[in-house]
Amino acid sequence: MSDRTRNAGAQSGTEVAGRVADVLLLFAGGPRSLGVSAISRELGVSKAVVHRILRSLVSREMLEDDPGTGRYRLGSAAVALGVSALRGANVRDAAAPVLRRLRDETGETTTLSGLVGDERVYLDQFESPREVRMTVEVGRRFPLYAGSSGKAILAFLPAERREAVLARPRTALTARTVTDPGELRAELAAIAADGTAVSLGERLPDAASVAAPLPGPDGAVHGSVSVCGPLHRFTPAEIERYRNLVRAAAGEIARVWDAARP
């Protein structure tokens, strides 16, 4: 094989890799789901090329497809990579002592969530010592519109991205889940003003939580910090106490995270 042929092959491979990366970045920073035509227009690449890239990514679980809509969204492998990236960004190390202290102060389970795509995942938890307590599934994806950890993130996303999330269909997870876009916008505005979100049976019927957004070193929201437990223990007085505690905890984690940057 000549040097010219090898160089041409290397350039071709680099171009393909760049296109694959560009496709994934569209999902990471934009709408939750995209179709072939939208990706083709955004990247200036033919639909045939986009389709081949999408099928390759689906086969590796980086994306998932919905045959009913013809649209694609981030898959389990991409979410796992996002979680790994957040874990490797010192955020769990920064959060651990703060979450442990918050657990001891409240007697309830404390959690750290990370924003991955247009969903969130639990990155860590410190379980309540009480016999009756709430536990979470680390690494599992959850929507942003239900529960305090998701809403604390959603309320602080850029307006365009927040509206894209609100424009999509929403399924009620419990009888208390708010799905009306107008009601959600009003609630998110109140969360943004207060700096905390409260959930009383929105994601799980008998569970409650109070959460605050977690900004990253770049100033953008990257996750949230929460106190969660059985609904009957979250009295109005306790909720107000937890609001102050999670605000302070999120601020402390953000400062430590920022200081830990290389």
Instruction: Name the residue among 164, 103, 104 with its Cα closest to residue 136.
Output: 103
Task: List the CATH number of the domain containing 15.
Answer: 1.10.10.10
pLDDT (0 to 100) of residue 34: 85
Q: How far apart are CA 7 and CA 213, in angstroms?
A: 48
Residue 81: its H or E element: helix 76-87
Q: How far apart are CA 222 and CA 90, in angstroms?
A: 13
Q: Which residues contact 49 (CB under 8 A, 6 or more apart)?
A: 19
Q: Are residues 44 and 98 in the same domain?
A: no
Q: Please state the φ and ψ torsions of residue 63, each to the nearest 5 degrees.
A: -130, 160
Question: Would you call 17 exposed, middle or buried from its count of C-beta atoms within 10 A (0-12, 13-18, 19+)?
Answer: exposed
The residue out of 74, 107, 124 marking a domain boundary is 74
The residue out of 74, 101, 124 marking a domain boundary is 74
Q: Are residues 45 and 171 in the same domain?
A: no
Q: Which long-range contacts (CB under 8 A, 24 or more apart) does 135-141 make?
A: 135/109, 136/109, 136/111, 136/228, 139/80, 139/83, 141/79, 141/116
Predicted model pTM: 0.71
Q: Are residues 33 and 89 in the same domain?
A: no
CA-atom Rg of the chain in angstroms: 21
Q: Are residues 10 and 133 in the same domain?
A: no
The residue out of 25, 52, 74 marking a domain boundary is 74
pLDDT (0 to 100) of residue 83: 59
pLDDT tens, residue order, the chain (262 aa): 554 444 444 445 577 788 888 888 787 655 567 889 988 988 888 999 999 999 888 888 788 887 778 888 877 677 666 655 555 457 888 899 999 999 999 999 999 999 887 888 898 999 999 999 999 988 788 999 999 999 999 999 999 989 988 988 899 999 999 999 999 999 999 999 999 999 999 999 999 999 999 998 888 899 999 999 999 999 999 999 999 999 999 999 999 888 876 5
DSSP string, 100-160: HHHHHHHSSEEEEEEEETTEEEEEEEE--SSSS-----TT-EE-SSSSHHHHHHHTTS-HH
Instruction: Give the strands of the sheet with 71-74, arranged side by side.
Output: 33-35, 71-74, 63-66
Task: List the CATH number of the domain containing 251.
Answer: 3.30.450.40
Q: Are residues 49 and 116 in the same domain?
A: no
Q: Which residues contact 167 (CB under 8 A, 6 or more apart)?
A: 181
Instruction: Name the residue among 219, 78, 83, 212 with its Cα closest to residue 158.
Output: 219
For residue 136, the enclosing domain spans 83-259
Q: Please state the φ and ψ torsions of residue 62, each to the nearest 5 degrees.
A: -75, -30
Q: Nearest-5° angle of CA 142, CA 74, CA 177?
A: 25
Q: Are residues 53 and 110 in the same domain?
A: no
**CA max distance for the chain:** 76
pLDDT (0 to 100) of residue 89: 54
Number of domain units in the chain: 2
Q: Are residues 212 and 90 in the same domain?
A: yes
Q: Are residues 38 and 124 in the same domain?
A: no
The single-letter code of the amino acid at 262 is: P
Q: Are residues 90 and 70 in the same domain?
A: no
Tokens representing 228 are 């969660």
- Beta 197-200 vs 141-142: how paired, if at all? unpaired
pLDDT (0 to 100) of residue 30: 52
Q: Are residues 226 and 198 in the same domain?
A: yes
Strand, coil or helix: what is 171?
Answer: coil
Q: Are residues 121 and 211 in the same domain?
A: yes
pLDDT (0 to 100) of residue 60: 81
Q: Are residues 18 and 35 in the same domain?
A: yes
